Amino acid sequence: MKAVICTKYGPPEVLQITEVQKPYPKDNEVLIKVNATTVHIGDTKIRRFAPGLGSVKDFFFKPLMRIIVGFKGPRKKILGMELSGEIEVIGKDVTLFKVGDPIFASTEFRFGTYAQYCCIAEDGILAIKPTNMSYEEAAPVSNAGLTALINLRKANTLKGQTVLIYGASGSVGTYAVQIAKHFGSEVTGVCSTANLEMVKSLGADKVIDYTQEDFTQRNEAYNVIFDAVGKITFSKRKKSLTKSGIYLSALALSGNIKLKVEDLIFLKELCEAGKLRSVIDKLYPMEQIVEAHRYVELGHKKGNVVITVNT
């Protein structure tokens, strides 16, 4: 099968498409024919080994990440964390799925989705794809959507709360706006000029253009600040939180969050109810994975960048 491999850390050009052995599922696994995967900022950071938690934290965090991910290059050469596709083969002990099922899934730090085929345990982060979504639309829900949901749930209650989402036009941010609205929050989205209308269309009650205004200068306090891009300084978030307010960051060290399949199914139901949709900025074929990584690294994407594979 064809796969994108990364044998060393570096710029997008270290990614190479090559032929590798097609995997075969273990007794408790399914073999998925991958139709779509994604490129998000986390993928680019793994590729170039840039955890990006801030200089002091990086001093302690980078050695740990090298142990987890790999020293001179990724230990798992096929990157990618999100996918959608069809089940082609099931292991003899699999009972939850059957051949031909359309699914979407997250592999987390097992990676492996930049390939034509991928094996996942049936009790992994794997569920039937939303019926009203294409494979391209479903793939990013499985990781970016889950990241938004799990972080926002740390606020305990969102109903009637004021929530500011910084980076509201990114992959995690676009889902966060919609999920916070579903839970009954008053949502303020922070993004650039070009994305204001898009963030409004997702349900944000207010939008702030960070290129024109610093949200901390509004003298407004929020019950929850969700930093979907990990860029708000401590002084800024402290100034803009209520006394009992909570700051959440998609990039926090506590962010090695535990994904649950029940949450993926919950998001599937939101999608099918028309309450959650995917924003797709660009589609690239797998052959253009280098260009896709280069584009994501610019930091200006709207929503998600999706890679088509077996289509």
Do 98 and 216 lie in a common domain? no
Mean pLDDT, the chain, whole residue set: 92
pTM, two decimal places: 0.93
Give the pLDDT of residue 308: 98
Condensed to tens digits (0 to 9), the pLDDT of residues 207-256 reads 999 999 999 988 899 999 999 998 888 888 888 999 999 999 988 744 55
Phi and psi at 121, nearest 5°, equal: -65, 145
Segment 254-311, tens digit of pLDDT: 455 688 999 999 999 999 999 999 999 999 999 999 999 999 999 889 999 999 998 7
**Same domain? 125 vs 156:** no
pLDDT at 71: 65
Query: For a pLDDT cut of 90, what percent of the chain falls above it?
Result: 79
Residues 277 and 201 in one domain: no
Above 60 in pLDDT, residue 61?
no
* Geometric angle at alpha carbon 156, from 155 and 157, rounded to 5°: 95
d(CA 293, CA 108): 18
pLDDT of 51 reads 63
User: Looking at 95-99, 100-104, 233-237, which range is the least confident one?
Assistant: 233-237
Domain boundary among 210, 225, 254: 254
What is the CATH number for 188? Answer: 3.40.50.720
Residue 138, C-beta contacts closer than 8 angstroms, at least 6 positions apart: 36, 84, 104, 129, 130, 271, 278
- Based on the domain organization, do 6 and 95 belong to the same domain? yes
Q: Please indicate, yes or no, whether residues 173 and 232 belong to a single structural domain of this protein.
A: yes
Give per-residue pLDDT as tens, 160-177: 999 999 999 999 999 999
Q: At residue 85, does pLDDT exceed 70?
A: yes
Please determine, for residue 30, whether its predicted confidence score (pLDDT) is greater than 50. yes
Q: Are residues 267 and 154 in the same domain?
A: no
Rounded CA-CA distance 308/311 in Å is 6
Same domain assignment for residues 110 and 28: yes
Residue 178: is its pLDDT beyond 80?
yes
Residue 53 predicted with pLDDT over 70:
no
- Say whether pLDDT at 17 is over 90: yes
Contact (CB, 8 A) for 184 and 158: yes
Question: In which domain, by residue range, is 219 found?
Answer: 145-254
Number of independent structural domains in the chain: 2
43-47, 118-122, 251-255, 276-280: lowest mean pLDDT where? 251-255
| Whether residue 123 is found in the same domain as residue 216 | no
Are 111 and 164 part of one and the same domain?
A: no
Same structural domain, 135 and 9? yes
Regarding whether 181 and 132 lie in a shared domain, the answer is no
- Do 249 and 299 lie in one domain? The reply is no
- Whether the per-residue pLDDT at 112 is higher than 90: the answer is yes
For the domain that residue 132 is a member of, what is the CATH number?
A: 3.90.180.10
Q: What is residue 65's predicted lDDT score, i.e. its pLDDT?
A: 67
